[in-house]
Amino acid sequence: MNADMGREARRSRRHRLPGTPPVFDVLAERVLGRVLDMSAGGMKLLLAEPLPEDTLYQVRFELPLPDGRRAPIVAGIQVLDTRVDEDGLLATGARFIHLEGAHARQLVQWLRQREGEA
């Protein structure tokens, strides 16, 4: 068995979002889950029910900004896997497959601010 099997392939650092903001399925107009953490490549969502792997969603969520405002983000995501995490919670990993220019810039700025705090 390969020693790397079971390890996550991560290119960028994860950052927790304060308050675990809800993530809305734009088309179905329902909450899919709540953001636990985020990286430049995607996010980890806390779920109430499993999401099928490889499913694509257009989602909306808000990034909390340092000044107390919230920046709305709309993104295309692909569900990678759903499992019970180390805390015993149902969670899924999702990768970003599409971010509009302004939303991508806002996310990059938010992540850079978090990197500066670390």
Q: Is the distance from CB of 76 to CB of 97 less than 8 angstroms?
A: yes
In a domain, residue 5? The reply is: no
Cα(117)–Cα(95) distance, integer angstroms: 24
- In the predicted structure, residue 32 carries a pLDDT above the cut 90: yes
In a domain, residue 92? The reply is: yes
Q: What pLDDT is recorded for position 117?
A: 66
In a domain, residue 8? The reply is: no
Q: Is the distance from CB of 94 to CB of 77 less than 8 angstroms?
A: yes
First-residue to last-residue Cα distance in the chain: 35
Q: What is the domain extent for residue 23? A: 15-117
Q: Mean of the pLDDT values across residues 83-98?
A: 92
CATH of the domain at 80: 2.40.10.220
Which position has the higher pLDDT, 18 or 95?
Answer: 95
Q: What's the pLDDT band for 7 if we cut at 50, 70, 90?
A: very low
In a domain, residue 9? The reply is: no
In a domain, residue 77? The reply is: yes
Q: What pLDDT is recorded for position 11?
A: 64
In a domain, residue 10? The reply is: no
In a domain, residue 25? The reply is: yes
Tell me how many domains the chain contains.
1
- In the predicted structure, residue 118 carries a pLDDT above the cut 60: no
- Work out the mean pLDDT of the chain and round it to a whole number: 87
Q: What pLDDT is recorded for position 35?
A: 96
E strands in 1-118: 15-16, 22-25, 30-38, 42-47, 56-64, 70-84, 90-99
In a domain, residue 2? The reply is: no
| Sign, Cα dihedral of 94, 97, 103, 105 | positive
